[in-house]
């Protein structure tokens, strides 16, 4: 009996495999690992006391506070928007569906600087709504509302892009089964739809939060870069660097780097937990309604 040989895979040769791995590790160390290591080395180059004093400075604390507040506003809004957009696109048939998908993905193809300038022409004093807002005493640009609007724009697609492919793959059968068993729309959403999309939703939230905290381009245009007032943490890092406060800039940058590392860990944990529970939770919702209907 002849033994069948599997066709060789691309890179199956030990030399090619080791060379590829070595190349990836080398490039990753030079492009990703080395800069991250330098950030923490420079941040603590003058000792812990200097590092703590830099982070305790009023301007730095305000930048951190403003970044957190912006995240607390922008992330929940874009989470609700992403769920609503994914629900509309995957559960209903209507004209303009593809146009809606294009609009949702538009921030990925537009430079953040362009987005910030566009907001100036909409909410600025010479913009579309600027005179009306000025008469009403509402300040959008060079204030928290403008920073939030810029952050909302650049992070709008993250949650929706994670949910739309998943909900398209799941189809409408589970929701229709729950509805046929007498469940209301909200009951169906919280008992069937939400349990099946929660890991993808949380994954999108993590990415959205990371982008909000690290956004620079659009926020730099609409904030005015006012020290201690409208500077988010990325803008404050640039300000410290231009003021030749290198250690302070690296100390503030270490906060964003730490948040990035936490984001990566959360991403990995959500991917593992979501993969482990995706199959088990697929039919949980209809089973609940089936038991309720039989009682």
Angle (nearest 5°) at CA 136 between 134 and 141: 40
Interacting residues of 106 by C-beta distance below 8 A, sequence separation 6+: 157
Percentage of residues in the chain with pLDDT exceeding 70?
87
Average pLDDT estimate for 190-207 = 84
Examine the pLDDT at 163 and tell me if it is beyond 80: yes
Average pLDDT estimate for 38-66 = 89
Examine the pLDDT at 202 and tell me if it is beyond 70: yes
Helix (H, G, I), strand (E, B) or coil at 171: coil
DSSP string for residues in 245-288: -HHHHHHHHHHHHHHHHHHHHHHHHHHHHHHHHTTTTTTHHHHH
Q: Name the range with the highest mean pLDDT among 36-40, 70-74, 125-129, 241-245.
A: 70-74
Average pLDDT estimate for 205-224 = 89
What is the Cα gyration radius of the chain? 24
Average pLDDT estimate for 24-33 = 89
| Amino acid 82: pLDDT | 92
Examine the pLDDT at 277 and tell me if it is beyond 60: no
Examine the pLDDT at 227 and tell me if it is beyond 70: yes
| Amino acid 280: pLDDT | 47
| Amino acid 285: pLDDT | 46
284-289 contact pairs (CB < 8 A, 24+): 284/192, 284/195, 285/174, 285/178, 285/188, 285/191, 285/192, 285/193, 285/195, 285/196, 286/174, 286/177, 286/178, 286/181, 286/192, 288/191, 289/177, 289/178, 289/181, 289/182, 289/183, 289/191, 289/192
Round the average pLDDT of the chain to a whole number and report it. Answer: 82
Could you give the CA distance from residue 46 to residue 73 in angstroms, rounded to a whole number? 36
Please report which confidence band the pLDDT of residue 19 belongs to, taking 50, 70 and 90 as the band edges: confident
Please report which confidence band the pLDDT of residue 76 belongs to, taking 50, 70 and 90 as the band edges: very high
């Amino acid at each position: 009996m002849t033994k069948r040989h599997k066709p060789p895979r691309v890179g199956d040769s030990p030399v090619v495999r080791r060379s590829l791995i070595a190349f990836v590790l080398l490039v990753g160390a030079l492009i990703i690992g080395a800069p991250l290591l330098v950030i923490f080395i420079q941040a603590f180059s003058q000792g812990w006391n200097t590092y703590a004093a830099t982070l305790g400075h009023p301007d730095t604390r305000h930048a951190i506070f403003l970044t957190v507040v912006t995240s607390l506003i922008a992330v929940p809004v874009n989470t609700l928007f992403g769920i609503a957009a994914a629900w509309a696109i995957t559960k209903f048939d209507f004209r303009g569906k593809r146009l809606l998908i294009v609009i949702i993905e538009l921030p990925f193809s537009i430079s953040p600087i362009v987005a910030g300038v566009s907001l100036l022409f909409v909410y600025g004093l010479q913009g579309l709504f600027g005179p009306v807002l000025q008469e009403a005493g509402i300040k959008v640009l060079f204030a928290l509302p403008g920073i939030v609007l810029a952050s909302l724009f650049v992070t709008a697609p993250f949650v929706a892009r994670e949910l739309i492919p998943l909900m398209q793959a799941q189809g409408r059968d589970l929701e229709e089964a729950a509805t046929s068993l007498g469940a209301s729309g909200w009951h169906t959403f919280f008992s069937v739809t939400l349990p099946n999309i929660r890991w993808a939703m949380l994954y999108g939230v993590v990415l959205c939060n990371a982008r909000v905290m690290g956004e620079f381009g659009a926020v730099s245009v609409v904030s005015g870069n006012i020290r201690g007032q409208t500077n988010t943490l990325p803008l404050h890092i640039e300000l410290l660097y231009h003021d030749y406060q290198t250690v302070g800039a690296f100390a503030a940058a270490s906060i964003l780097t730490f948040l990035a590392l936490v984001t990566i860990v959360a991403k990995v944990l959500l991917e593992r937990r979501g993969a482990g529970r995706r199959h088990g939770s697929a039919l949980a919702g209809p089973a609940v309604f089936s038991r309720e209907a039989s009682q």
